[in-house]
């Protein structure tokens, strides 16, 4: 969001007693970071190995234990990983055993 400081409505300090009356008719700009700079994942973690290796890596980076385990299994088996292949190509179809983080 961009705005010009000249577009802001500045109020003299002496009118501060009537703040609630003034505040009803102004736009408030908040400069807080979104979720302290980090958005918490609220979706579903991988329930099985029918996702791409790239997706699995992102879930593992986020801290999902199941994704970390499956990724570790893949890296133990091969060095030439196709990040766009399904995880099931390397591990077969597996079902999630760990609860989400």
Task: For residue 38, give its domain range.
Answer: 5-91
Instruction: Tell me the per-residue pLDDT of 6-22, one tens digit each, with 9 for 90 and over.
Output: 877 777 777 777 777 77
Q: Is residue 73 part of a domain?
A: yes
Q: Is residue 99 part of a domain?
A: no
Q: Is residue 17 part of a domain?
A: yes
Instruction: Tell me the per-residue pLDDT of 29-67, one tens digit each, with 9 for 90 and over.
Output: 666 666 666 677 788 999 999 999 999 999 999 889 999
Q: Provide the domain count of the chain.
A: 1
DSSP string, the chain: ----GGGS----GGGGGGHHHHHTTSPPPP-PPGGGG-PPP-SPPPSBS-SBHHHHHHHHHHT-HHHHHHHHHHHHH-SS--TTSBHHHHH-S-B--SPP-
Q: Is residue 16 part of a domain?
A: yes
Q: Is residue 97 part of a domain?
A: no
pLDDT at 24: 77
């Amino acid at each position: 969001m961009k705005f010009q400081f000249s577009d802001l409505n500045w109020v003299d300090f002496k009118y501060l007693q009537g703040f609630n009356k003034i505040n009803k008719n102004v736009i408030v700009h908040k400069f807080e970071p979104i979720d302290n700079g980090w958005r918490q994942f609220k979706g579903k973690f991988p329930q099985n190995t029918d996702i791409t290796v790239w997706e699995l890596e992102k879930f593992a980076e986020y801290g999902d234990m199941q994704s970390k385990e499956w990724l570790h299994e893949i890296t133990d088996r091969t060095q030439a990983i196709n990040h766009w292949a399904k995880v099931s190509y390397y591990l077969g179809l597996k079902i999630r055993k760990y609860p989400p983080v």
